[in-house]
């Protein structure tokens, strides 16, 4: 591990730790996420399922909500972790949620609890995304 990996390691550790708190009695698939704000602070989130299935929320959504509630507006890095065979990519809705507060080149690390990981960016996860310019008719 290089010195450059240290902040990322911290983000992934936060995602790994919060995953333990995930409420996933229906899918039994616990997910942990963490986003870093422009301040450098880390905001963790986990999935919170509901017996009315569509009411469940993803780990990424929880992390973003905490960042916004804490007064920040910019996501500078993202980590997601699950106990899966291959790193789990954020769902379509979470890609759009991340894109709202991140840049195209914002790094995203997807990891498994067994140590596999994959690095991508918010832009690569959501090419051709809907943005405010699409509502501009002038
Ligand atoms: N889930 C997340 O929290 N984040 C992802 O990136 C993928 C899916 C959750 C939603 C649901 O609680 C469970 O994983 C199974 O879909």
Tell me the pLDDT tens digit for each residue of 64-77: 999 999 999 999 99
Give the mutation target among 64, 82, 83, 86 for probing the ligand 1 site: most ligand atoms within 8 A of CB. 82
Reported as a single tens digit per residue, the pLDDT across 114-138 is 999 999 999 999 998 888 889 988 7
DSSP one-letter string for 4-21: GGHHHHHHHHHHHHHHTT
Q: Where do the structural domains in the chain lie, given as residue ranges?
A: 5-124
Q: Could you tell me which of 90, 13, 21, 83 has the C-alpha nearest to residue 58?
A: 90
5-124: CATH topology: Cytidine Deaminase; domain 2 (3.40.140)
Distance 114 CA to ligand 1 centre (A): 18
Would you state the structure tokens that stand for residue 14, as one six-digit string?
């936060």
pTM, whole model, 2 decimals? 0.94
Token representation of residue 45: 């989130």
Residue list, ligand 1 pocket, CB within 6 Å: 24, 27, 29, 31, 47, 49, 56, 58-60, 80, 88, 90-91, 94
- Split the chain (138 residues) into runs of 10 and give each run's mean pLDDT: 64 98 98 98 98 98 98 98 96 97 97 96 94 87
């Amino acid at each position: 591990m290089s010195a450059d990996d240290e902040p990322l390691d911290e983000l992934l550790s936060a995602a790994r730790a919060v995953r333990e708190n995930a409420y996933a009695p229906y899918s039994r698939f616990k997910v942990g996420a963490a986003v870093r704000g422009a301040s450098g602070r880390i905001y963790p989130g986990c999935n919170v399922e509901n017996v009315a299935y569509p009411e469940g929320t993803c780990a990424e959504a929880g992390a973003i909500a905490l960042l916004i509630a804490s007064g920040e507006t910019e996501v500078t890095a993202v980590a997601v972790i699950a106990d899966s065979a291959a790193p789990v990519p954020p769902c379509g809705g979470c890609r759009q949620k991340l894109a709202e507060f991140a840049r195209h080149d914002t790094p995203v690390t997807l990891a498994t609890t067994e140590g596999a990981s994959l690095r991508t960016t918010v832009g690569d996860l959501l090419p051709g995304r809907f943005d405010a310019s699409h509502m501009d008719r002038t």
